Amino acid sequence: MSSVPRLVIAAPSSGSGKTTVATGLMAAFAARGLDVSPHKVGPDYIDPGYHTLASGRVGRNLDAYLCGPELVGPLFLHGSRGCDIAVVEGVMGLYDGAAGEGELASTAHVAKLLRAPVVLVVDASSQSRSVSALVHGFASWDPQVRVGGVILNKVASDRHEELLRDALDSAGVPVLGVLRRAARVDTPSRHLGLVPVAERHAAAVEAVAAMGAQVEAGCDLEGLLGLARSAGALSCAAWDAAEVLAPAAEPLMDAAPPPPLPAPTPGAAPPDPRFRPEGPRPRTPPEGAPPDGLKDAKRRVRVAVAGGPAFTFSYAEHAELLTAAGAEVVAFDPLRDEQLPDGTAGLVIGGGFPEVYAAELSANEPLRKAVAALARSGAPVAAECAGLLYLCRELDGLTMCGVLDASARMSERLTLGYRDAVAVGDSSLAVAGTRLRAHEFHRTVVEPGSGAAPAWGVRSPRRRVEGFVQQGVHASYLHTHWAAEPGVARRFVERCRTS
């Protein structure tokens, strides 16, 4: 049984201040010397970068749609191992989940799976007495969701605070914090949300410090810590990459694996924490024995993973799974590095913002040629969303790698949502018929949208094929979480050995 103290930070709707409060709490608790485990509900890649800055530990996602409800607890325990407290930032409104799927993947769903108390962040900027009705409604909607406190955000004055507190006296939910309006904690946004930490490192550090100071000054940290300690014990075991890749744990390894992953992130010069995860260290095998994740004593193969400001989207578990499967994971920056790491046997190019850096990516001709040569050799290349754009012939008229006979451009239309998909054919990542859940999030268009051998048949919200499979290349718009289908990492690494 595990009882890591934990809080879920939720809100009635998006834009209420969850990220400010959650990130500020992480920073404030860390400043007090606590080891804080940061988590984000849903598929979002950007908020965890701010969480990493605030806590000093890699931010991790908890997505009951992508990974299944059964993995939420184990993945949480994996990330929070050894921590004093965990802070989980919710997604959208407290009860908003996957469209048409009821509570699935909502913040409320994850809070119940974690047996964690919820702190409701309320934007109080345009209300006074009505706040009591709002909080009462959210606290009573689902008896299994325990709203243990409220933090009032964007409070205008002492008088406004007094009115809000008086109104909430009858709601039965304690006020655990009051935050005044503060422009200095605002973080810039653009077409897909907040600007990632890796693109504004110094400014992001300053913003996170300001969030921490504001929360420290305006919130009852002792009361919040006490609430976190009231979380129920979890009976599941912590997820472990080596264990899920053990042969006994994976009887269907060749019958059901999925696709592409993203890459490194959070900060600037220091090595990306995603490639030195804080969970259990890989076990040292006895002398002469093969490393974890290998059936026989083969050398590790080098897998290059794109990172830097242009490719900041990644789930930490992907690098952990690749390592457990027998890969040496090496990060590189397509904006700066003119060659792939020496000895690269496979390449992962994840999500991010290549459209913002298209000119710089195009100008790095030596790397573009190296990527194209690797793809022509038949080596496995997993490209996801931003990686798909980078492999195209051109992006907004600028030359890219030319691996795919397709062009990409920015679009006014936002494509966003969970997807239900099936692998159309065999690839370096999946065998034909593999079913998985994924997430799509972009404002770009690739023409054509699929190749002669598509990567996926998308079954919802509408039926279509998308993506490209050619030689060892698997390129798609779909984001997936490999913890849901860990065999994909073994399959990818084995293709690196044999290609």
Q: Is 496 a catalytic residue?
A: no
What pLDDT digit, counting tens, does each position of 379-402 carry? 999 999 999 999 999 999 999 999
Higher pLDDT, 261 or 48: 48
**3 state DSSP class of 113:** helix
The type of residue at 409 is: R
Q: Residues 6 or more apart from 139 whose CB is under 8 A from it? A: 120, 147, 171, 172, 173
Nearest to 391 by CA among 408, 412, 377: 408
Per-residue confidence at 410, pLDDT binned at 50, 70, 90?
A: very high
Q: What is the pLDDT of residues 159-181, one digit of tens each?
A: 999 999 999 998 999 999 999 98
Share of the chain above pLDDT 90, in %: 78
Structure tokens at 175: 């006020």
- For 332, the 3-state DSSP assignment is strand
Task: Give the 3-state secondary structure of residue 339.
Answer: coil
Q: Is residue 480 a contact partner of residue 418, using CB atoms and an 8 Å limit?
A: no
Q: Which of 84-88, 277-281, 397-401, 492-496 has the lowest mean pLDDT?
A: 277-281
Task: Evaluate whether 179 touches 214 at the Cβ level (below 8 Å).
Answer: yes
Q: Where on the phi/psi map is residue 171: left (φ > 0), alpha (ψ -120 to 50), or beta?
A: alpha
Q: Is the pLDDT of residue 253 over 50?
A: no
> What residues contact 269, with CB distance under 8 A and at least 6 apart?
none
Non-local (6+) Cβ contacts of 170 within 8 A are 132
* Mean of pLDDT values over 36-61: 95
The kind and range of the H/E element at 391 are helix 386-391
Work out the pLDDT band at 193, boundaries 50, 70, 90: low
Q: How would you classify the pairing of strands 301-306 and 344-349? A: parallel
Check 83, 219, 385, 496 and give the catalytic one. 385
Q: Does residue 327 carry a pLDDT above 80?
A: yes
Give residue 181's pLDDT.
Answer: 85
Type of residue found at 133: A
Per-residue confidence at 199, pLDDT binned at 50, 70, 90?
low
